[in-house]
Chain A
Amino acid sequence: AQSVSQHNHHVILSEAASLELGCNYSYGGTVNLFWYVQYPGQHLQLLLKYFSGDPLVKGIKGFEAEFIKSKFSFNLRKPSVQWSDTAEYFCAAHSGGYNKLIFGAGTRLAVHP
């Protein structure tokens, strides 16, 4: 079955630390990949997405993600986090029609000043 796995459920960092959140997917064919963010009390917002082309994707607020096909991975990175990055981050994927997204369980990030 198609699935998306996020390895870290909770991450705690200090401001200016580097961030990498892992995401692996189990789709066998062409796959579209997304990272969404949910700030406290808010709805999901798109951070970045990968459909094709350059495997290094840049998103909003200084985030980037790298698609590594051989590893079925789409890890999210940010070189220096800020307190305002405190949020829950979701990796998602869909393959085929109707845009049906499969989400990972999410990673809660807490950034301390």
Chain B
Amino acid sequence: NAGVTQTPKFRVLKTGQSMTLLCAQDMNHEYMYWYRQDPGMGLRLIHYSVGEGTTAKGEVPDGYNVSRLKKQNFLLGLESAAPSQTSVYFCASSDPPGQETQYFGPGTRLLVL
């Protein structure tokens, strides 16, 4: 039981390049989330999904897209990376109905030059 895994662990991009971050969970959770962590700002929700085929915007969605084609996977895409997207990205998953703990992945450190 691996829990929540993320790939890659670290990536360097040039401004304007695109990339996809992959999150996978093996706990059969319905809900999945993408956060970004920046110094002094805690974690902020980018997008989330409440089930296969669904996505919704979080607190800071601009510049990102997501897809949830399979229940166990949640992809975060950057179409045209900007230096402001330099951050650590965390994926999490949980079960409904609304009182369940979120389980976090190990994070992806992204540097945009």
Q: How far is the CA of A45 from the CA of B4 in the complex (A)?
A: 12
Q: Nearest chain-B residue to A51 (Cβ)?
A: B99
The contact size tier of chain B is 20 to 34
The contact size tier of chain A is 20 to 34
Measured between beta carbons, the chain A residues less than 8 angstroms from B94 are 99
Q: Does B12 interact with chain A (Cβ within 8 Å)?
A: no
Q: Contact between A98 and B48 (Cβ–Cβ < 8 Å)?
A: yes
Q: Does B2 interact with chain A (Cβ within 8 Å)?
A: no
Q: Nearest chain-A residue to B100 (Cβ)?
A: A99
**A43-B106 CB under 8 A given contacts A9-B40, A90-B43, A103-B43:** yes
Give A residues with C-beta under 8 Å from B: 4, 6, 9, 32, 34, 36, 42-46, 49, 51, 90, 92, 94, 96-101, 103-106
Give B residues with C-beta under 8 Å from A: 31, 33, 35, 40-45, 48, 50, 56, 58, 90, 92, 94, 96-107
